[in-house]
Structures are given as C-alpha cells and as structure tokens.
A = this chain, B = another copy of it.
Amino acid sequence: MSKVFVNIGLSLDGYMAPEGMTMENPEYMGWGAKWGAMMSWLLKQQSFRENLNFGPGGETGPVNDMVRHTMERIGANIMGKRMFDQGEVAWPEEAPFHTPVFVLTHEKREPWARPGGTTFYFVNDGPESALEQAKESAGGRDVRISGGADVIQQYLNLGVIEELEIALAPVMFGGGRRLFENIREPAPRFRIDRVVDSSAATHLRYVRE
C-alpha cells in the first residue's frame, strides 16, 4: 500500500524557499546563497550525486543511506505548477525523478516524457484526483508530495500526509515561502518517529497519529 509522504529541506525560521527565488536570477535578494546553505548537506551525499550524474564521490553514512532510501521508495511525485515551471528550466534533460510526476495546474498540456523514466502529467481537476492517479501509477511504492509549500499545505489540510520528513538546517531566511501556513483546524496530528543528527541539518521524521 502506497504511503503519502513529504521530504523537504526547511530553514530554521520555517521557510522552504527564500524570498525572491527565481531560477532566472540566482543573485536576486541573495536567494541562491540562502538556498544553497540550506541544501548543501544534500548536494554532498553520494546517492544524490549519483542520481544527478554528478560523477563519483560524495559522503556516505547514515544521512546518505537515508537519502538513498527516500529516492528508492518513491513511485510517483506530485508538485505544483510553480515548482514545475522553475524546474522545467533548471533540471537536466534527464529530469531527476525517474517516476511519473503529477503537476497540479490549470494549464492543459499533453504528458511530457523525459529520458530516464520521468513523465510529467498535467492534472487539472485538483489535488485529490492527482493523488489518486499518483497512487495508481506508483506500482506499490510511495507517493511523494514534492512541493511547493502551498501544495504541501493543501495535502496537510486534506489529512492525507502520513509521513513528514524535514531536514531542518541552521540557516535563517528572514522571509520567503513558509511550510506551515494556512493549516486548518483540527490540524493533523503527528508523532516523532526518529531524528538523525548531523552538523549540517537535523533530520526530523514525523508519522501521522
């Protein structure tokens, strides 16, 4: 049975993305440096480098094992249109998902298949339909709600997020897109499942109660 999970990097002050984040201009408001500081731990992991064809090398150990496990468990991704738009110009031709990706959008567009097994499907009839399609196509593996923040919030409010994995980095953005906003009552309930400690980020894993 597919699980529905979130796995993201978060700044200490609660932002998924710094203010001004647009792929066109990494200098704008210093967003590139901020985002890089939040995600630098990930870019160093051997399994992540391998996935992006960055070549050999990289850190091994519990954090790397965790990253590899996360990548291997994903059978389908769901993302918002803004995240897709940013990625469309930034991902390599072999997009780094290797699964079906369901994009929540009002735009009508034919599925877009990339080398390496990623196919983007554009879903016009809402998050519940996208989740249904993602589960069907995940082949028994899990469904990752990739982002952005507003999409994660929609799924939190639907009560369908079963696992919430947060890599909390010791950086402050001072502004941007908050992960936890617009949460409706009663808020979903989670318990702490495990914490993996490292100097670059604290890897928190919560499971729905």
Identify the A interface with B (CB < 8 A).
12-14, 168, 170-174, 178-180, 183-185, 187-192, 194-195, 197-202, 204, 206
Contact = CB atoms under 8 A, between A and B. Distances in A.
A174 B184 contact: yes
A199 B195 contact: no
A174 B183 contact: yes
A185 B195 contact: no
Contacts of A172: 180, 183, 187-190
Contacts of A173: 187
Given A12-B180, A12-B190, A174-B185, A202 B199 contact: no
B170 A13 contact: no
Given A14-B14, A168-B204, 14 more contacts: A12-B190, A13-B180, A13-B183, A14-B178, A170-B191, A170-B206, A171-B187, A172-B180, A172-B187, A172-B189, A173-B187, A191-B199, A192-B202, A202-B204
Interface of A, helix, strand, loop or mixed by DSSP: loop
A174 B202 contact: no
B183 A192 contact: no
A16 to B, nearest CB: 12
Contacts of A14: 13-14, 178, 180
A164 B13 CA distance: 12
Contacts of A185: 174
A78 B178 CA distance: 29
Nearest to A172: B187
A183 B176 CA distance: 12
A144 to B, nearest CB: 19
A29 to B, nearest CB: 9
A27 to B, nearest CB: 15
A103 B194 CA distance: 39
Contacts of A190: 12, 170, 172
